[in-house]
Amino acid sequence: MSLKDKLVSSYIAFEDHLEDDSPIHELRNEAIKVFETQGFPSKKEEAWKYTSLNALLKNNYSVFPKNERTIELKEVRKYFLHDIDTYKLVFVDGVYSSFLSDTTHDSLDVCLLSSALNKPKYKAVIENYFNKTAVKDSLTSLNTAFAKEGAYIHIPKHKEVEKPIEIINFSTGTEAAILLQPRNLIVVGENAHVQIIERHQSLNENQVLTNSVTEIFAEKRAFVDYYKIQNDAHTASLIDNTYVSQATQSHCRVHTFSFGGKLTRNNLNFYQNGERCDSTLNGITIIEGKQHVDHNTLVHHIAPNCESHQDYKGIFADSSTGVFNGKVYVEKEAQKLDAFQQNNNILVDDKATINSKPQLEIFADDVRCSHGCTIGQLDEDAMFYLQSRGIGKKESRALLMYAFANSVLESVKIPELKARINKLIANKIGVSLGFEL
């Protein structure tokens, strides 16, 4: 039985188990129908031209984990941003772990989607926001059909959240192969500020496929800073679907750091619904071996006087593959726009591959849109200069790579997180510079 058939048939059992009267019951039924007709995307689809899921879909994933394993804090402490205080939402094999988490209802809601879906108090929010910005494509629909658990974050008007919120999904590997489908809903009210860090971590060598959907709503003048740390085990794959809906004058920034995992696909979509929005999409990708990272971004400009900035850097070693498929779509009404898209890549080894497709679709005339894409090597003159100053070859390379990625790294606003990412990069390059940038 193929994974698709398995999912469709287990949906019936899944629906039966749910508590009655869930407000999203209808949405689920519609979603599974979409998935049933469309199936998993294949390379024939333009958006999936360079990324094949075939190898992943052969695994016999268990959809509902039977075994449970509790994990000790000391085992996973290193995955948290432990040097500062944060709100935490921790899920183990898709199940909420109250023991590891630190939630709140005090003036803001950092809690679970499952409780938001079932408690009447949240009904209005769910009805207004849930599945409202997500595109109804096959993978998002699959997630919607099975949407049960995930983060629910609601920041009320004028609230500046004083500490970052961490969302961490662990998989413990009690099953040979597991499919996880976390679903996050984040609503940031007018004038509110929030910083969120998301991470997926597999704790052993078993196969994990995560098909995650995150919806972010930024109301008027809201500030959202979102960090995705993708440094998973080499047996874990991630399909991350993120949808950001922005209202007037809101600022949203999503930073994606892809260092680990077997196959990572980021579908990052921004919709600028109000005037004077500002969107930033940044990413650093450093991969090796047979890793595959695919960034598929869309910035949909609907209203005038907006800005968007995309900056993706990639370093590809061994026989890794990188894909950048960025699209800026400008509607007729979105005049006076400033959109910029940049994708720079370095190929370190002969078998590494880059496929880059930066697209512009423009229907408005009074706009400034540009994109740049480069593929190249480290500057030999710069290497020579550094070495002539007595810096070793390895260190020189590392220094140049840091410099290459620096424009993105600079945009990280949480110092502790920046230090952490610095360390991850050092590990990845295999050199520690002995100082922090």
Partner 1 sequence: MSKYTEDDLKKELETKEYEYGFYTDIESDTFPVGLNENIVRAISHKKEEPAWMTEWRLEAFRYWQEMTEPDWANVHYKKPNFQDISYYSAPNKKPKYNSIDEVDPELLETFNKLGISLDEQKKLAGVAVDIVMDSVSVATTFKDTLAEKGIIFCSISEAIKEHPELVKKYIGTVVPQRDNFYAALNSAVFSDGSFCYIPKGVRCPMELSTYFRINQAGTGQFERTLVIADKGSYVSYLEGCTAPSRDENQLHAAVVELIALDDAEIKYSTVQNWFPGNKEGKGGVFNFVTKRGICEKNAKISWTQVETGSAVTWKYPSCILKGDNSIGEFYSIAVTNNFQQADTGTKMVHLGKNTRSTIISKGISAGKSQNSYRGLVQINPRADNARNFSQCDSLLMGNECGAHTFPYIEAKNKTAKIEHEATTSKIGEDQIFYCNQRGIDTEKAIALIVNGFSKEVLNKLPMEFAVEAQKLLEISLEGSVG
Q: How far is the CB of 362 from partner 1 (least distance, A)?
A: 5
Stretch that binds partner 1, among 225-233, 293-301, 370-378, 398-406 (CB under 8 A): 370-378
381 contributes a contact to partner 1 by CB under 8 A: no
| 60, 128, 370, 432: which one binds partner 1 (CB under 8 A) | 370
DSSP states of 223-259: EEEEEEEE---TTEEEEEEEEEEE-TT-EEEEEEEE-
Residue bearing tokens 């921004």: 270
The answer to whether 321 touches 356, Cβ cutoff 8 Å, is no
Tokens standing for residue 226: 């979102």
Q: Write out the two tokens for 317.
A: 């070693």
Q: Which listed range, 94-102, 205-213, 341-349, 389-397, lies at the site for partner 1 (CB under 8 A)?
A: 341-349
CA distance 260 to 89: 22
Binding part of the chain for partner 1, among 120-128, 170-178, 375-383, 417-425 by CB under 8 A, reads 375-383
Strands 367-376 and 292-301: what pairing? unpaired
- The reply to whether 120 sits near partner 1 by the rule CB under 8 A is no
Task: Choose between 376 and 434: whose C-beta lies nearer to partner 1.
Answer: 376
350 lines the binding site for partner 1 (CB under 8 A): yes
Binding flag, residue 353, partner 1 (CB under 8 A) = yes
Q: Which of 27, 125, 375, 437 binds partner 1 (CB under 8 A)?
A: 375
Any alpha helices (H) in 39-94, and if so which ranges? 54-57, 73-76
C-beta of 243: minimal distance to partner 1 in Å? 23
Whether 369 and 362 have beta carbons less than 8 Å apart is answered as yes
Using rule CB under 8 A, residue 356 touches partner 1: yes
Cβ distance to partner 1 smaller for residue 97 or 305: 305
Smallest distance from partner 1 to CB 294, Å: 13
b/e sequence 368-398, b meaning 16+ C-beta within 10 Å: ebebebeeeebeeeebeebeeeeeeeebbbb
Range 28-57, binding partner 1 (CB under 8 A): 46
Minimum distance from residue 216 beta carbon to partner 1 (Å) = 28
Residue 375 or residue 391: which is nearer to partner 1 going by CB?
Answer: 375
Please tell me whether residue 289 binds partner 1 under the rule CB under 8 A: no
Structure token digits, residue 124: 């209005």
Question: Which one among 157, 162, 205, 372 touches partner 1, defined by CB under 8 A?
Answer: 372
Other C-beta atoms lying within 10 Å of the C-beta of residue 85 = 11
C-alpha 281: how far from its chain's center? 11
Which of 26/350 has CB closer to partner 1? 350
Q: Counting beta carbons within 10 angstroms of the beta carbon of residue 426, is it exposed (0 to 12), middle (13 to 18) or buried (19 or more)? A: middle
Are the CB atoms for 223 and 193 separated by under 8 Å? yes
Region near partner 1 per CB under 8 A, out of 136-144, 155-163, 237-245, 347-355? 347-355
Q: How far is the CB of 364 from partner 1 (least distance, A)?
A: 6
Cα–Cα dist 322/265, whole Å: 10
Among 45, 68, 363, 415, binds partner 1 (CB under 8 A): 363
345 sits near partner 1 (criterion: CB under 8 A): yes
Q: Which is nearer to partner 1, 65 or 358 (CB)?
A: 358
Tell me: does residue 392 bind partner 1 (CB under 8 A).
Answer: no
Nearer to partner 1, 21 or 366 (CB): 366
Residues ≥6 apart with Cβ < 8 Å to 158: 189, 190, 191, 192
Pairing of strands 87-92, 95-96: antiparallel
Closest CB to partner 1 among 67 and 359?
A: 359
Binding residues for partner 1, total number by CB under 8 A:
35
List of residues contacting partner 1 (CB under 8 A):
46, 332, 335, 345, 347-377
